[in-house]
Amino acid sequence: MHIDYKLRGTTLTASLHGEIDHHTAAIARSEIDMEIDRVKATGLNLDLSDISFCDSSGLGLVMGRLKKMKAGGGSAVVVNPSERVEKVLTLAGIDTLMPIKKEERK
Amino acid sequence: MSISPLNRFKAEFPAKSINEGYARMVAAAFVSQLDPTVADLADIKTAVSEAVTNCIVHAYRDKTDYCPIYITGAYYPDGKTVITVRDKGCGIEDISKAVTPLYTTDTGGERSGMGFTIMESFCDKMTVSSRVGKGTTVRLVKKIVRPQS
């Protein structure tokens, strides 16, 4: 698992690469939170387009970041999950709590 | 009369989170012998990942000595595939509560409470047997049939 960051204004895009399970989610969680705090982001895009595996830990990771952003008055969006990743995320109705955005791949 | 499996495997490893990836790869490698669809293979990997994560996060949460996780797999002539994940951890007091969607005992962490729900919906059948203080076995059944082209 590795993560790339891009900041536009105060919106942080975190692009996650690799597999999300309980092991990697713990690492991603602390890394992303540190970056959110460092740049004082008010918006968070979690780009999951390059996630090849995701179990319920991914759900926890996304929900946790949404909670953190909302607690600070901000917002969070999931961007480009694969059909597979989306299947896991929507099983718990995450799509009713936050937008899942699908963008054209460049 | 019981039909014997065409093939089977066993694996044992310590309950370390880094082995979650190992566990699902072992199961995937075994099931791959049946030439499954990408979706079926992903279902198996996800279900095994959930079962193994439960052993690490819940079954052995208070233990520090060697905590073994045992996985077995078998497939049958009709494509029926059975994977079991067993631990010798704390056991589950109330199984029906544990498998309830969104229920988690991990209130401080970021567990979603969806582990058993995912196992149930990604497999044809899931059964949990457990004894408090002895351990838990999760049995995952999925029929792997290659679609006719």
Query: 């079926």: which residue's tokens?
Result: B40
Q: Cα angle at B111 between A26 and B117, to 5 degrees?
A: 130
Q: What tokens does B28 get?
A: 């995937």
Q: Could you tell me if A71 and A91 are in contact, meaning their C-beta atoms sit under 8 angstroms apart?
A: no
Is B7 in the active site? no
Please give the domain boundaries of chain A with CATH numbers for all domains.
2-101 (3.30.750.24)
Q: Is residue B103 part of a domain?
A: yes
Q: What is the CATH number of the domain that holds B100?
A: 3.30.565.10
Question: Looking at the 3D structure of chain B, how many domains does it have?
Answer: 1
Q: Is residue B107 part of a domain?
A: yes
Is B120 in the active site? no
Residue A26 contacts B, CB cutoff 8 Å: yes
Q: Do B110 and A88 touch (CB under 8 A)?
A: no
Query: Complex ipTM, two decimals?
Result: 0.90
pLDDT of residue A21: 97
Mean pLDDT by 10 residues, chain B (149 residues): 91 96 98 96 97 96 90 97 98 95 85 94 97 97 84
Within 10 angstroms of residue A72's Cβ, the number of other Cβ atoms is 13
Q: Is residue B149 part of a domain?
A: no
Sheet bearing B80-87, strands edge to edge: B7-14, B68-75, B80-87, B135-143, B125-131
Domain that residue B98 falls in = 7-143
Q: Could you tell me if B43 and B121 are in contact, meaning their C-beta atoms sit under 8 angstroms apart?
A: no
